[in-house]
Amino acid sequence: MRGAASTGVVAVMVMMLVVLNQLENTTANASLSSNKSSCNIYRGSWVYDNSYPLYDSNSCPFIERQFNCKSNGRPDQDYLKYRWQPSDCNIPSFNGLNFLERVKGKKIMFVGDSLSLNQWQSLTCMLHNAAPKAKFTMTRSPSGLSVFSFPAYNATIMFSRNAFLVDTVGAPPNRVMKLDSISTGSLWKTADVLVFNSWHWWLHTGRKQPWDAVEYGNVTVKDMDRLVAYEKAIRTWAMWIDRNIDHSKIKVFFQGVSPDHALSKDWSKQGGNGSCIGETKPVKGSNYQAGQHPAEMVVEKVIKTMKNPARLMDVTLMSQLRKDGHPSVYGFGGHTTPDCSHWCLAGVPDSWNQLLYSELFHS
């Protein structure tokens, strides 16, 4: 009898411990949920994670050579192992099959320059890794539209190359950038999710400058302050979105400015903090000390004026911490033209897409 009583006491104690543990977990989960509502998922730090990368670049059959640092001979591997961790909450792990199920019958379109190409390539590799046996199609048109689709899921991931979002018309030496004109928007209306990006090409001068004059209203000038021109263009984009996009049907994001770590005469204007060459580790800490990127400040200011504000994917600060994530001498240009603008894949854009996944389906 005494043994049975002892056993009963032990059982009761075990049950109490289980209940207490459940209560603690419930409290912790409630705390996490409350944090999520006020958490800025774009503020945090990069943590080393042995489960990364999310895919092997050499197993992605359509990856651009310029982004495949591993195939281009980069000897270090730590740049592949960092995961973005917000300071005040957790974000869901990327689930490619879940993503595909949720976007059945839908179209996602990235619109912008080669940084949008970088992110589009990342997402297509992530999804291919999740469904490696699923048939896919890839088409690219002379107009700059690239279309990647999974017929089994009726899911389409597109990239529309449009570096300025506003119109550039004419041929050299009479190319005119029209800061108050958008004629390509009909294509944007065909998507269910739009992710825009623009900045890097605004800084080009000399032979790389893709316009010969700038037009705004009735005024045409040979050139103007690039940040001023950028703001006028982004305001034109914002007004177009407000007038033409039904936000109940189409979700609109603006990818924050991706920082350039190239050391040049204009590096401070670009938000850079020194060359990426030889870098193998992220910048330590959760805060970047050099101040906010001027172009990012323009985007934030303009978005706040929108009738239906686009969702800003504020990837600037988190990306500024990753000087190690660029192709550097292991990109398309090699040692002759080191690349401190784009990002290695696998790498930083995968985290951008994990945040997009969180924004789309878990916010």
Q: How far is CA 300 from the centre of its chain?
A: 16
What is the distance between the alpha carbons of residues 107 and 175, in angstroms, rounded to a whole number? 32
Helix, coil or strand: residue 220? strand
Q: How far is CA 171 from the centre of its chain?
A: 32
Across the beta sheet with 167-169, what order do the strands follow? 167-169, 176-178, 213-216, 219-221
Task: Exactly one of 113, 167, 339, 350 is catalytic; name it.
Answer: 339
Q: Which stretches of 147-279 are DSSP H helices?
A: 185-188, 226-244
In terms of Cβ atoms closer than 10 Å to its own Cβ (0-12, 13-18, 19+), residue 346 is buried
Contact 163, 115 (CB under 8 A): no
Task: Assess whether 342 carries a catalytic annotation.
Answer: yes
Task: Assess whether 247 carries a catalytic annotation.
Answer: no
Sign of CA dihedral 327, 331, 333, 335: positive
* CA proximity to 164, closest of 184, 186, 187, 134: 184
Task: Exactly one of 342, 350, 351, 358 is catalytic; name it.
Answer: 342
What is the distance between the alpha carbons of residues 247 and 192, in angstroms, rounded to a whole number? 10
Q: How far is CA 139 from the centre of its chain?
A: 22
The tokens for 333 are: 């240009």
Task: Assess whether 246 carries a catalytic annotation.
Answer: no
| Packed helices 226-244 and 294-304: angle between N→C axes, nearest 10 degrees | 30
Q: How many CB atoms lie within 10 A of CB 319?
A: 28
Task: Exactly one of 45, 57, 113, 114 is catalytic; name it.
Answer: 114
Residues serving a catalytic function are 114, 339, 342
